């Protein structure tokens, strides 16, 4: 029987990851965003919509920093890819549980890059009659942005075009549980 090599590191100390934002930096920025949203949404009927799966960690922390009466809901979407390029075609895997007509919506994302999926999602939700739709994202990666008109209202951090994981972001389901955002040094080693 072959034995597996012993790892001399844990997932959190993986040598193939370089920390981009620490847990403390993320916590501080999420608190700032929560205060901003609290201030701007007083007397509004707020529903936060998390885009699964990546947004779950960010949304859980963010909503606990918003000192308002609010509701949450989730959507899951899949983008069809041709190789490595998103076509912008989006399939709704899980839709909202409640109507959003007359509500003020914040779509919560983990990361925005090309903006194609989010643009489709905003267009879809606008047909359902909300009072407003705004976007909150932990990470904004504008370099590969195809839809340059996409407006991000609440942004944790703007990042360069690097392959990042952690705090909800994954690669093949791995690394979502990291308490920090890390840059993958060599994707070939994953």
Per-residue model confidence (pLDDT) at position 172: 83
Per-residue model confidence (pLDDT) at position 4: 54
Per-residue model confidence (pLDDT) at position 147: 78
Per-residue model confidence (pLDDT) at position 96: 96
What structural domains does the chain harbor?
Answer: 24-162 (3.40.50.2020)
Provide the sign of the torsion angle of the four alpha carbons 91, 119, 168, 37, taken in this order. negative
Per-residue model confidence (pLDDT) at position 78: 82
Question: Cβ(56)–Cβ(138) under 8 Å?
Answer: no
Per-residue model confidence (pLDDT) at position 88: 61
Q: Residue 11, Cβ neighbours under 10 Å: how many?
A: 12
3-class SS string, the chain: CCCCCCCCCCCCCCCCEEEEECHHHHHHHHHHHHHHHHHHCCCCCEEEEEEECCCHHHHHHHHCCCCCCEEEEEEEEEEEEECCEEEEEEEEEECCCCCCCCCEEEEEEEEECCCHHHHHHHHHHHCCCCCEEEEEEEEECCCCCCCCCCCCCEEEEECCCCCEEECCECECCECCCCCCEEEECCHHHC
Residue 159, phi then psi, degrees to nearest 5: -125, 160
Residues serving a catalytic function are: 113
Per-residue model confidence (pLDDT) at position 98: 93
Strand arrangement, sheet containing 132-140: 85-94, 70-82, 46-52, 104-112, 132-140, 154-158
Low-confidence ranges of the chain (pLDDT < 70): 1-8, 80-88, 190
């Amino acid at each position: 029987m072959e034995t597996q090599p012993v790892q001399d590191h844990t997932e959190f100390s993986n040598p193939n990851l370089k920390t981009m934002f620490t847990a403390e930096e993320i916590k501080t920025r999420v608190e700032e965003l929560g205060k901003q949203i609290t201030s701007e949404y007083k007397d509004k009927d707020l529903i936060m919509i998390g885009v699964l799966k990546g947004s779950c960690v960010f949304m859980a922390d963010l909503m606990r920093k918003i000192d308002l009466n609010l509701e949450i809901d989730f959507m899951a979407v899949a983008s069809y890819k041709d190789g490595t390029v998103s076509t912008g075609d989006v399939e709704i895997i899980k839709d909202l549980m409640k109507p959003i007509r007359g509500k003020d919506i914040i779509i919560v994302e983990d990361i925005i890059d090309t903006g194609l999926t989010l643009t489709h999602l905003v267009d879809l939700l606008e047909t359902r009659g909300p009072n407003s739709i705004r976007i909150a994202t932990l990470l904004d990666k504008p370099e590969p942005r195809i839809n340059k008109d996409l407006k991000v209202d609440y942004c944790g951090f703007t990042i360069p075009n690097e392959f990042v994981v952690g705090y909800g972001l994954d690669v093949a389901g791995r690394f979502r549980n990291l308490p920090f955002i890390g840059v993958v040094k060599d994707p070939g080693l994953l």
